[in-house]
């Protein structure tokens, strides 16, 4: 499913580029400028990794507590 | 009051406490026991029914929360180290009203590590060690479990206070002090009730933990009574006595953990006694060098540190003497782990590598602390530039491994289950230990570089130091990963780890067999690698005390 999703996304982006050259992507092109100057340091990559770890702990607690 | 007067008052107070704990308080003993028990359970009303009171639940709750606290502690410290070379890295948080700086993050990371992880792991361990060594059960599991959440709330407030000292004109740190002390006093009373119901002579590690806990409020009361708290020397001494509290508790936990984890008896009872008495009689070099943190905790104004000549002489002397209990502890732990032969019995057992690291690193870190503190005490201030890195090293390669190692070694007994995977535990150890040691060693190198340039009055920016700091902070990220691994391993283990009666799950991957390169070996070594079992199991047959008769033919 993940591979299919990735391939279809790539196909969609390529098609969009061919059909509407030099046009910005809808929605995404409006959202991305919001993050300009926000994640402009390498520390955010590390914080992202730590956040994945924290969510892994929360997920583990939830799944372990609710599984039979 | 001078430093030595305050210390003498502290020694006398601890002696009185020790006698009272052992002898009771005359005819009031029974009344105080029943009243304390009432205050710990029924007086709390409905909240006490929210928690589980089954055997081992208190220790498990404290240990799991302590292990989880290592994660935010390491993340905050990592961010603090990163901001030391890139101060604007988190400037985008200013849109939320947050302005984190390197020093505020490092201080809050230190507090979260000490009170959140080390404190909770040690208190959790004591809730198993004290009853176990006293041949009894914890006086109230329910209250101890409930207090863990109060303590956690206190640590959260502490973290906020370290980054934003005042909110709407109210100083936040005293609130954290109030919450943690509320929980601590409940835990102390619980421990005293447990000790009072002991059925056998309690060995020293249990006393170390109890006396360590009690020394925290006693030291502050003594300093307040002697009037030292208003002076810079008194506030400095209060910070040092905080180090004594954690050192004593850590000593008790690590001695028990080393013996229980390795299966060897404690190597020397005399050295354990030297550790306990020495820790009280001397000034411990652990913790921040300045007394400012003590004044923040107590909500009093910070006094200038102006020690008298007598204070300097007495302080330096007692600081130097503190190496004796530290060396005694280190030697005792290492010799206990080694046992009678040349190798550790079960080196892969979760917790043992951590205890080994802590015992090994305690002496060099203490010597470093001794130099820096003496330098600060005498007003020379030539080495204070490395003080932050040294304090962090003390926390991350001595106190955190020691408390985590002890907790891991008793975890199967308190929770009834082993950690999920021994292999993951080993990975977590290497990530944490490697990340903390190498990351902080590089940071210390950068500190030395900055100090050298400062001394030479060079005004240009030190680019070499900045580059080393980048390396140091990136390497410290290993500690973040290791702490996440440990937390996941403990949480999953408490739910579906193998039962403690069945032995630990060696590996979640394919690595299980020892990697042999030797040509010849001995049966002893093969057995130590878990390849076989030599112990002859003797199963007793049914027997009777009735006198025997001649066999009828």
Closest residue to B495, CB basis, from A42, A43, A64: A64
Rounded Cα–Cα distance for residues B304 and B297 (Å): 16
Nearest to A53 among B79, B86, B484 (CB): B484
Residues present in chain A in total: 68
- Smallest CA–CA distance, residue B551 to chain A, in Å, is 59
A34 touches B: beta carbon within 8 Å: no
Chain B touched by A13 (CB under 8 Å)? no
Q: What is the mean pLDDT of residues A29-49?
A: 80
Q: What is the mean pLDDT of chain B?
A: 87
Using DSSP's 3-state secondary structure scheme, residue B454 falls into: helix
Residues A42 and A56 in one domain: yes
* A63 and A47 housed in the same domain: yes
Bridge partners, B171 (sequence order)? B166
- If you average pLDDT over residues B76-83, what whole number do you get? 95
Per-residue pLDDT tens digits for B408-424: 999 998 988 888 888 89
Mean pLDDT of the region B201-225? 93
The yes-or-no verdict on residue B518 having pLDDT over 60 is no
**pLDDT band with cut points at 50, 70 and 90 for residue B390:** very high
CA distance A33 to chain B (A): 14
Q: From B79, which residue of chain A is nearest by alpha-carbon distance?
A: A43
Are residue A21 and residue A5 in the same domain, yes or no? yes
Judge contact between B116 and B73, C-beta under 8 A.
yes
Contacts of A43 in chain B (CB under 8 A): 79, 82, 86, 89-90
Please count the CA atoms within 13 angstroms of the CA of B488 that sit on its side-chain side. 22
* Tokens (6 digits) for B544: 């009777």
Q: Are residues A25 and A42 in the same domain?
A: no
Residues A30 and A44 in one domain: no
Which of the listed ranges A41-45, B237-241, B533-537 does the model predict with the highest average pLDDT?
Answer: B237-241
Query: How much is the CA Rg of chain B, to the nearest whole Å?
Result: 25
Chain A residue closest in CA terms to B488: A57
A27 and A56 part of one domain: no
Judge whether residue B512 has pLDDT over 60.
Answer: no
Contact B484 A57 (CB under 8 A): yes
Q: What is the pLDDT of residues B296-342, one digit of tens each?
A: 899 888 888 888 899 999 999 999 999 999 999 999 999 988 876 65
Of all residues in chain A, the one with the smallest CA distance to B77 is: A47
Token digits of residue B502: 């069945």
Report residue B109's pLDDT band, with 50, 70 and 90 as the boundaries. Answer: very high
Pair A43, A65 in one domain: yes
Cα-to-chain-centroid distance, residue A52? 13
> How far, in Å, CA of B352 to CA of A21, rounded?
62
Interval B465-491: pLDDT, tens: 888 999 999 999 999 999 999 999 999
- Among chain A residues, the shortest Cα distance to B86 is held by A41
A36/B contact by beta carbon, under 8 A = no
pLDDT band at B393 (very low <50, low <70, confident <90, very high): very high
Q: Tell me how many domains chain A contains.
A: 2
Q: Mean pLDDT, to the nearest integer, of A2-9? A: 92
Distance between CA atoms of B129 and B207, rounded to whole angstroms?
10
Domain that holds residue A68: 37-68
Per-residue pLDDT band at B106 (split at 50, 70, 90)? very high
Q: Say whether B74 sits in a helix, a strand or coil.
A: helix
pLDDT of res. B544: 62
Inter-chain touch A43–B491, beta carbons under 8 Å: no
B471 touches chain A (CB under 8 A): no
Region B209-236: what's the mean pLDDT? Answer: 91
Distance from the Cα of A10 to chain B's closest Cα (Å) equals 32
Q: Do B480 and A53 touch (CB under 8 A)?
A: yes
Q: CB contact, 8 Å: B488 with chain A? A: yes
Query: Are residues A20 and A7 part of one domain?
Result: yes
Grade residue B29 by pLDDT with cuts at 50, 70 and 90. Answer: confident
Question: What residue ranges define each of the domains in chain B, with the CATH number in brackets?
Answer: 3-417+446-456 (1.20.210.10)
Q: Could you read off the pLDDT of A49-64 as tens digits, one per residue? A: 999 999 999 999 999 8
Cβ–Cβ below 8 Å for B488 and A41: no
- Cβ B471 vs Cβ B435: under 8 Å: no
What is the average pLDDT value for chain A, to the nearest integer?
86
Determine the residue of chain A that is closest to B74 in CA distance: A50
Least confident span in A4-18, B238-252, B446-460: B446-460
Tokens, residue B531:
């390849």
SS3 assignment, position B16: helix
Task: State residue B527's pLDDT score.
Answer: 61
| Nearest CA distance, A62 vs chain B (angstrom) | 10
Please judge whether A43 and B88 are an interchain contact, meaning their C-beta atoms are less than 8 angstroms apart.
no
**pLDDT greater than 70 at residue B210:** yes
Determine the longest span between alpha carbons in chain A, in angstroms.
54
Distance in Å, alpha carbon of B92 to nearest chain A alpha carbon: 5
CA distance A4 to chain B (A): 29
Give the mutation candidate from A41, A52, A59 for the B interface (greatest B CB count, under 10 A). A41
* Nearest Cα residue in chain B from A51: B75
**Distance, CA of A19 to CA of A26 (rounded, Å):** 14
**Spatial contact of B355 and B391, defined as CB atoms under 8 Å apart:** no
For B329-367, the pLDDT digits (tens) are 999 999 988 876 655 556 668 889 999 999 999 999 999
Percent of chain B, pLDDT > 90? 55
Segment 51-70 of chain B within 8 Å of chain A by CB: 68
Question: Chains A, B: CB contacts under 8 A, how many?
Answer: 54
CA A64 to chain B, closest CA, distance in angstroms equals 6
Predicted pLDDT of residue B541 = 58
- Whether B530 shows a pLDDT value over 60: the answer reads no
Counting beta carbons within 10 angstroms of the beta carbon of residue B149, is it exposed (0 to 12), middle (13 to 18) or buried (19 or more)? middle
Query: What pLDDT score was predicted for residue B524?
Result: 64
The model's pTM is 0.86
**Least confident span in B89-103, B403-417, B428-442:** B89-103
* Residues B246 and B399: beta-carbon distance below 8 Å: yes
Determine the pLDDT at residue B457. Answer: 78
Q: Residues A28, A43: one domain?
A: no
Q: Is the pLDDT of residue B95 over 90?
A: no
Beta strands in B159-268 (DSSP E): 166-167, 170-171
What's the rounded Cα separation, in Å, for the pair B378 and B290? 13
Asked if A48 is an interface residue toward chain B (Cβ–Cβ < 8 A), one would say no
Instruction: For residues A26 and A54, state if they share a domain.
Output: no
Across the range B371-384, mean pLDDT stands at 90
Nearest Cα residue in chain A from B85: A43
B473: nearest Cα among B28, B20, B74, B57 = B74
Of A37, A49, A56, nearest to B92 by CB-CB distance is A37
Residues A24 and A45 in one domain: no
Beta bridge partners of B504: none
Residues A42, A17, single domain; the answer is no
- Sign of dihedral through CA atoms B125, B126, B131, B135? positive
Q: What percent of chain B has pLDDT over 70?
A: 88
> What does the pLDDT look like over B126-155, one tens digit per residue?
999 999 999 999 989 999 999 999 999 999
- Please say whether the beta carbons of B252 and B365 come within 8 A: no
- Closest-CA residue of chain A to B476: A46
* Structure confidence at residue B511 as a pLDDT band (50, 70, 90): very low
Instruction: Look at residue B526 in the predicted model and tell me its pLDDT.
Output: 61
């Amino acid at each position: 499913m993940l591979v299919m999703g990735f391939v279809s996304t790539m196909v969609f982006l390529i098609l969009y580029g061919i059909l509407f050259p030099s046009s910005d992507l809808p929605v995404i092109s409006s959202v991305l400028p919001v993050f300009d100057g926000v994640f402009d340091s390498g520390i955010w990559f590390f914080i992202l990794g730590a956040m994945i770890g924290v969510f892994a702990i929360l997920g583990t607690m939830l799944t372990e507590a609710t599984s039979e | 009051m001078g430093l030595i007067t305050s210390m003498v008052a502290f020694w006398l107070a601890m002696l009185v406490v020790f006698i009272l704990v052992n002898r009771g308080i005359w005819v009031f003993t029974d009344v105080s026991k029943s009243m304390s028990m009432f205050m710990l359970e029924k007086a709390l009303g409905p909240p006490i029914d929210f928690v589980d009171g089954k055997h081992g639940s208190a220790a498990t709750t404290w240990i799991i929360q302590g292990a989880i606290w290592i994660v935010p502690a390491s993340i905050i410290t990592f961010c603090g180290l990163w901001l030391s070379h890139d101060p604007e890295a988190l400037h985008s948080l200013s849109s939320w009203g947050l302005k984190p700086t390197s020093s505020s993050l490092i201080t809050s990371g230190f507090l979260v590590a000490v009170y959140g992880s080390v404190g909770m792991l040690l208190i959790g361990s004591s809730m198993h060690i004290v009853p176990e060594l006293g041949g009894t059960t914890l006086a109230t599991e329910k209250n101890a479990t409930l207090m863990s959440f109060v303590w956690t709330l206190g640590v959260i407030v502490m973290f906020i206070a370290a980054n934003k000292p005042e909110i709407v004109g109210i100083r936040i740190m005293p609130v954290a002090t109030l919450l943690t002390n509320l929980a601590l006093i409940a835990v102390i009373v619980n421990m005293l009730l447990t000790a009072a119901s002991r059925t056998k002579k309690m060995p020293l590690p249990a006393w170390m933990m109890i006396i360590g806990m009690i020394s925290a409020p006693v030291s502050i009361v003594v300093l307040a009574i002697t009037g030292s708290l208003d002076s810079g020397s008194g506030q400095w001494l209060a910070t040092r006595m905080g180090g004594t509290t954690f050192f004593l508790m850590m000593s008790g936990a690590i001695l028990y953990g080393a013996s229980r984890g390795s299966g060897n008896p404690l190597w020397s009872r005399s050295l354990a006694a030297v550790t306990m008495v020495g820790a009280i009689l001397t000034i411990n070099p652990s913790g921040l060098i300045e007394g400012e943190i003590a004044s923040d905790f107590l909500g009093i104004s910070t006094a200038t540190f102006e020690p008298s000549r007598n204070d300097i002489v007495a302080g330096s002397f007692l600081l130097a003497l503190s190496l004796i209990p530290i060396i005694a502890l280190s030697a005792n732990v290492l010799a206990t782990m080694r046992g009678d032969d040349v190798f550790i019995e079960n080196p892969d057992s979760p917790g043992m590598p951590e205890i080994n690291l802590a015992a090994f690193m305690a002496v060099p870190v203490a010597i470093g602390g001794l130099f820096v503190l003496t330098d600060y005490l005498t007003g020379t201030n030539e080495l204070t530039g490395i003080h932050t890195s040294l304090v962090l090293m003390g926390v991350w390669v001595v106190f955190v491994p020691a408390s985590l190692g002890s907790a891991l070694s008793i975890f199967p007994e308190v929770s009834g289950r082993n950690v999920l995977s021994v292999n993951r535990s080993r990975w977590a150890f290497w990530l944490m230990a490697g990340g903390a040691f190498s990351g902080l060693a590089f940071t210390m190198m950068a500190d030395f570089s900055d100090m050298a340039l400062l001394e030479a009055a060079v005004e240009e920016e030190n680019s070499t130091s900045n580059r080393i700091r980048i390396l140091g902070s990136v390497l410290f990220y290993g500690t973040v990963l290791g702490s996440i691994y440990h937390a996941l391993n403990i949480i999953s283990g408490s739910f579906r780890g193998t039962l403690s009666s069945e032995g630990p799950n060696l590996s979640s991957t394919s690595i299980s067999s020892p990697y042999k390169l030797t040509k010849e070996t001995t049966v002893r070594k093969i057995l130590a690698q878990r390849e076989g079992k030599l112990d002859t199991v003797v199963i007793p047959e049914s027997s009777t005390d009735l006198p025997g008769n001649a066999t009828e033919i």
